[in-house]
Chains A and B, each alone.
Chain A
């Protein structure tokens, strides 16, 4: 027997030799208030110039401060003072001047100044990723200027209606910290523009400081003691974003008290079960969110409008919105019904197999000519069910569709090129800012191509023109008219199957107080506004 022990130790040591040593011991604090948020979708990026999805925004909203912050405490989405305390707009609508708050500290201890705002905006514009589509039409590097340490000016090429609203996405990074940590890259003196550094560290001034981020694992952030808004009793000391892919495990974790809050991607069955569990609460809110199935209009057979119209009429919307997404409201076009600027004259798509057959007959493609690839995020069961629903009625039309569960981050990467973009994707698209621009331009203007948000690769010069005109329009009424026109034109081309504006559900322990559905991506989980009261 002794030799068996020797054997075991030998195996352990032999293979352990491959693992390297590294020592880093986080200090253990006394009785901190920990909030564990469990989500099935991982955080793909924590760099404010790269984030595009909810998980990424949750990280960024907590680590960084935006120039303006939605008025969440009043339950509004409108941009309100945050890093900027006040602002003026020039008469021609082209120059925005902001006064910055004094005494805001970065996590590095440095004070935040206008230079940092300039650096942050130029960085987004240079990297041309993440939120860059919001500003590229009107700004370029150099058009943001620091007038003095507490004054910053944006010089727009043209008037830009949603500009103020977009600034809730301008998260300010610590320019000096980044300059001190540049890697090799394509940006001249600026190397990689700090992308390497910000892929593992934060450079923000937000309420939480990044402790660690294991991709696909935990993101842990601790309270920033010098946060400019100060701290009150009961606020969270330590925020843990834990990725657990298996829904059953997530459910067991929150029921067992190992999670305090779980995200919005679980199945309705699960939320119903959690709502019936003592000590847990499920918050249900009608959303300003679009759930749709964008179709790749750059790929046959979906480059044919009749084929797309056939698919649009082959989905059983009633079943989808009662059985799979209970409580959802069928969408009317791309802009969510409750969002500003929605065109209420649009008729919703109808489930009509006779119509579908009619359109299919008009298409230049035969039903069985191509196998349609449907990709959905592998951890979201509702999207699988919707795929099965669509698959069953397409089978009646003689169209073969394959259902592909795909990891979220990979799905977003597939959408970077028209060839790799699937025929049909299943996506939720949450409002970026309260303006119809958010659900039109980002999805259907060619300059936004390459992001999963614009996976339709839609390019209709007429729509492009109207969208560009709408952006420049200073007269609000006329502007909204243009957006409504664009919505009608887009819906007529059927680049997406607009399924619904779903109900937003999230489950949390009853002792988590202050949760409020905001509807702007990431801001629902601004942890600073939550408190934990475990009595």
Chain B
């Protein structure tokens, strides 16, 4: 049964991804600048232009062009970057792991901050933690992330000199996945691990704050909802330890709503990544994308948008699957 559910979920992704590719294709076609001249450079001769135009099929109807474009994308061909003069696909390979690492750690931070705070706020309603965390949540959402990033950089990187200002660190572990934390652990390179971790703290924390705020609110709401349930009263009247009830039973039931939020806020996180990576000069695809936008490097803009869309879809798929895994009722729900 679970396999059917999984298959259905994956299939449901297909139309979204097709729509996504169509949207981005259309966007790339309205972008100024002749794609031919972009590919050949300003000194191209007219006959060269004409030949490439035919080769690339730009004289064909739009739907044919779209199919060709889709073929290219499936082969990983996004054209060349105007800014780096390399195939965009190669740039993505180089820059993607940094972003994956940053967003994953940020999400971990968000969960580690959001869930306990949410639980505590719910358990001690209207207590100090509840009030404090409400303000933290409100601020986390309302604070411009680039501003927060600059302030944190100033305080921890400059005045306190505790954490690096920018970048991913110069101690690079041997590349296996491109995720420095994973690679350094696998190769047992502790110096690289520690160095990477120190570089990650500020950007990941900045990025996590808004998401932590959302997770906290949702966990709190879920927990408050659970508190009124009969089983909680029953368990407590049996004299089960309170912490056991809270963490073992209530949280498990409340966590499904938290999961939904993780999926939804992941898009928010990816968006904010563009600012956080820029401020911290983090060599990921978001900073690459932001530079590409400023530079008007269209092939790169298109590719980054597509990759972010796909990553967002994959994460939401993973969440859906997990949701079904945690809550069997979901698997049987009619579509």
Contact = CB atoms under 8 A, between A and B. Distances in A.
A491 B157 CA distance: 49
Interface stretch (A109-117, A211-219, A330-338): A211-219
B115 A4 contact: yes
B291 interface: yes
Contacts of B111: 4, 8
Contact of B42 (A15, A216, A417): A417
Interface stretch (B10-18, B21-29, B64-72, B100-108): B100-108
Given A11-B315, A23-B174, A249 B108 contact: no
A12 interface: yes
B281 A249 contact: yes
B93 A8 contact: no
B286 interface: no
The interface residues of chain A, by DSSP majority, are classed as loop
B327 to A, nearest CB: 11
Interface residues of A, number: 44
Interface residues of B, number: 52
Contacts of B115: 4
Interface string A1-42: 101101110111011101111111110000000000000000
Interface in B282-315: 283, 291, 294-296, 307, 311, 314-315
Contacts of A18: 96, 100, 307, 311
A252 B42 contact: no
Given A14-B318, A23-B176, A217-B283, 4 more contacts: A15-B100, A21-B175, A23-B174, A253-B166
A244 interface: yes
B53 interface: no
Interface stretch (B1-9, B177-185, B220-228): B177-185
Q: Which of A10, A12, A214, A248 has the most CB of B within 10 A?
A: A12
B295 A19 contact: no
Nearest to B91: A215
A370 B281 CA distance: 38
A245 B290 CA distance: 13
A530 B174 CA distance: 32
A298 to B, nearest CB: 16
Interface string A46-70: 0000000000000000000000000
Nearest to A28: B171
A409 B178 contact: no
B17 to A, nearest CB: 14
Nearest to B297: A410
B138 interface: no
Given A19-B97, A199-B85, A256-B161, A10 B182 contact: no
B41 to A, nearest CB: 9
B116 to A, nearest CB: 10
B56 interface: no
Contacts of A416: 42
Contacts of A215: 83-85
13 contacts: A3-B255, A4-B255, A8-B104, A8-B111, A14-B314, A15-B315, A19-B178, A215-B83, A249-B153, A249-B165, A256-B161, A378-B294, A407-B295
